[in-house]
Amino acid sequence: MSLHGIRTVAALELRQRARTSRWPVVLLLWFLLVAGVTSLSYAALNNASVKAGPTLYDVTTFLVLGLSMLVVPSLTATSVNGDREAGVLATLQTTLLTPADIIVGKLVSSWVIALVFLAVSSPFLLWAWVAGGIGIGQVVGSLLVLAFVLAVTCAIGLAFSTLTARTVASAVLTYLAIATLVFGTVIVFLLSFFLVQSREQVRYYGIPDSFWAAQTKNDDGSISPDSVIPTVADCRHLTREETVIHTERIWWLLPMNPFVVVADAAPGRTAPGPTAYSGVQPMRAISIGARSARAGADGRERQECDFGGGGGPAALPPLQSGPIYPYGLVFYLALGAGATWLAIRRTRTPVTRLPNGTRIA
């Protein structure tokens, strides 16, 4: 592998793409889509009391990542087998370029295109930053994480394009793989709840059942409203049996999700804003949810005595673990490196075995 070789392949790929596709149109559509959604969010959310900045940043990042997951795999999913079909891969393989040059060159070129899409959406991220509340360091940091996830997505497509002879098959497999990461992890996470749930005694501070039993009832068994005003004095430290889900045993499914990784690294979670789940802050909600999943079953006493301004302790915020995104980054680094290694191995020549239906040249 050499810098010169990688640059040669990347330049070749970029030049071809620049000339064969309608990039200006695609980028314009992308720009308009992001612009539309961001402007609507701004119009809907901005008012004198709440700065729309963090929300804007969240919505835009969420949108850009979601759209990228649709667009980016198509950049590489037919790269190697498409070249093989067009009879141009062997032309490179018989030169002094190594398989690593070819694969990494293709990876770099598709990543550059993915970054162009990111760059086109950056005015809106900047707008969000200006609109308030987010430091530039945080924006840059989360952009880097986003760019990294896109690079891994490119690598996954590239690996599949070396695995199948038909471009349709590799495109389908790539999208399936991406869908597994985006939806599959969440679905498996939620479906595994029954595996990690148990009935346990939990402590709480609230109104005992005896309080309600002591109330005078109407004829139909409902409680007459006049008499039901419990006060802090009525609260007791009690226990009851509840279903507890030990998500700390399955939280590791979450950092495999690109949205969780990007959300957890996003600045929205630390920005001053409304309460945890208020507003439209998808990234913030994802991040808080994922961290509380990792923190797992909450052993703290439930605070259920805060009613009617009676002065009881407020409900506790969700239990939070440390950052999750570093685990995601490690996972994605391994995934990207593995995919790239596989792709390189599969483009090595001379070959001993040809998959069915493939041609070399």
Partner 1 sequence: MRRAFGSVLAVDDISLVARPGEVTALVGPNGAGKTTLLLMLATLLVPDHGTIRIEGFDPVTQPAEVRARIGWMPDGFGTWDALTVREVLHTIGAAYRMGPAEARARTEAVLELLHLGDLADRRARVLSRGQKQRLGLARALLHDPSVLLLDEPASGLDPRSRIELRDVLRTMAADGKTVLVSSHILTELQEVADRAVIVARGRTTQDQTLDATELATTVGTWRITSLDADRLRQWLGERHVPWRAELAAVVVQVGGEEQAARLLADLVADGIRVIAFAPSHGALEAAYLAATEDRQ
Q: Which residues bind partner 1 (CB under 8 A)?
A: 4-5, 8, 11-12, 15-16, 19-20, 86-88, 90-97, 349-352, 354, 356, 360-361
Name the residue nearer to partner 1 (CB basis): 37 or 89. 89
Give the distance between the most distant pair of CA atoms in the chain: 92
Instruction: Give the Cα separation of 268 and 277 in Å (integer).
Output: 12
Name the residue nearer to partner 1 (CB basis): 78 or 257. 78
Residue with tokens 């440390």: 322
Smallest gap from Cβ 162 to partner 1, in A, equals 15
Instruction: Give the Cα separation of 229 and 35 in Å (integer).
Output: 51
Smallest gap from Cβ 361 to partner 1, in A, equals 4
Smallest gap from Cβ 154 to partner 1, in A, equals 20
CA 194 to chain centre: 24
Instruction: Give the Cα separation of 188 and 181 in Å (integer).
Output: 10
Give the DSSP per-residue string, 187-201: HHHHHTHHHHEEEEE
Smallest gap from Cβ 103 to partner 1, in A, equals 14
Q: Which residues contact 94 (CB under 8 A, 6 or more apart)?
A: 349
Instruction: Determine the 3-state secondary structure of 359 from DSSP.
Output: coil
Smallest gap from Cβ 7 to partner 1, in A, equals 8
Smallest gap from Cβ 159 to partner 1, in A, equals 21
Name the residue nearer to partner 1 (CB basis): 61 or 93. 93
Name the residue nearer to partner 1 (CB basis): 61 or 109. 109
Name the residue nearer to partner 1 (CB basis): 222 or 356. 356
* 125 burial type by CB count under 10 A (0-12 exposed, 13-18 middle, 19+ buried): buried
Smallest gap from Cβ 84 to partner 1, in A, equals 10
CA 197 to chain centre: 25
What does DSSP say about strands 302-303 and 236-245: parallel, antiparallel, or unpaired? Answer: unpaired
Is residue 79 within 8 Å of residue 157, measured between CB atoms?
yes
Name the residue nearer to partner 1 (CB basis): 3 or 233. 3
Name the residue nearer to partner 1 (CB basis): 4 or 199. 4
